[in-house]
Amino acid sequence: MQARHIGPFTASPIGLGCMNLCHAYGTPPTEQDAERLLLAALDMGVTHFDTAALYGFGASESLVGRVLGPHRQRFTLASKCGMTHEAGDGTVAPGRVIDGSPESIRATCEGSLRRLKTDVIDLYYLHRWDKRVPIEDSVGALADLVRAGKVRTIGLSEVSSATLRRAHAVHPITALQTEYSLWTRNPELAVLQACRDLGVAFVAFSPLGRGYLADALPSWDDVQALPDRDIRRAMPRFGAEHFASNLPLLAQYRALAAEAGCTPAQLALAWVLAQGDDIVPIPGTRSVAHLRDDLAAWDLRLPADVLQRAGELINTATVSGHRYAEQGRREVDTEDVAA
């Protein structure tokens, strides 16, 4: 499969999301295993790596900077601001903070540059739109970073088509990132078309349905065995009622992948890739074997009817449960598909 483009950058058809190397999905790998995975991805041809100040509260950026810094010219580096971690001071509890103020954006960028061991970030996203701050002000601060030579291009994450258009009027937006997969179709409501109207690349995170489409959780017992801090425990689709409805779909999906001669993860990624050559999925993994399996999807040539059947089997109408719990739904600005 030919390389894809994210603004001025040439990208491998599949990039690597670096969140779960230290954040959100249970026990992270050892530093040695995380380093091995990043270098393996580079050696296997991945040229787009995506991290954020939030991930591991700086740990992901530090890891990427330490391991991939010596190879900086071989890949496009993406990170994010606007959502960080507050340590707490005895009166304020520690936790995640959404802050899109120009001051916060500038400060977060300085910290990211240090951790990433680089002079410039290729693609810098606003991780979440802070709805207390006009999007024009946040994008203006990002544009200032471009003019200062600290950021080459800017992006947005989890915003609606209307917000994208407002932002793009202030400064060209290179990429929009949001969740997109067989079982999360929100971008199809309006954002994908808005991206195409404006010439904005679309970066799809969680293209494997947070493991569901990779057959990583084949039973309710597997879901119950997730560590307490795994973010899926708070997601409705992985709750007892909804997962019971979604599990039969997985059996049919697994059979379809076997019929096509590929793994469930490869079928999921092939479907996303087939939705447009302006889309770059960024699955995450902690396993070199899973990474190799994922990347094999970019050479797959699956029949159109197989992809159509996958889309008809798993979609908005057949999947039970919302992708986020109530807090997560309040934090994003995307067009919503009712559960």
DSSP 70-112: GGGGGSEEEEEESEEEE---SSS--EEEE---HHHHHHHHHHH
Q: Topology of domain 4-208+268-300, per CATH?
A: TIM Barrel (3.20.20)
Sorted by where each begins, the domain ranges of the chain are: 4-208+268-300
Catalytically active residues are: 55
Q: Model pTM?
A: 0.95
Please provide the average confidence, as pLDDT, over all residues in the chain: 94
Residue 94 reports pLDDT greater than 80: no
pLDDT mean over 130-154: 98
Residue 26: per-residue pLDDT: 80
Residue range 204-244, pLDDT digits in tens = 999 999 999 999 999 999 999 999 889 999 999 999 999 99
Q: Strand order of the sheet with strand 121-126? A: 16-17, 48-50, 76-81, 121-126, 151-157, 175-179, 201-205, 279-282
Mean of pLDDT values over 57-72: 96
What are 147-176's pLDDT values in tens digits?
A: 999 999 999 999 999 999 999 999 999 999
Mean pLDDT computed over 75-96: 75
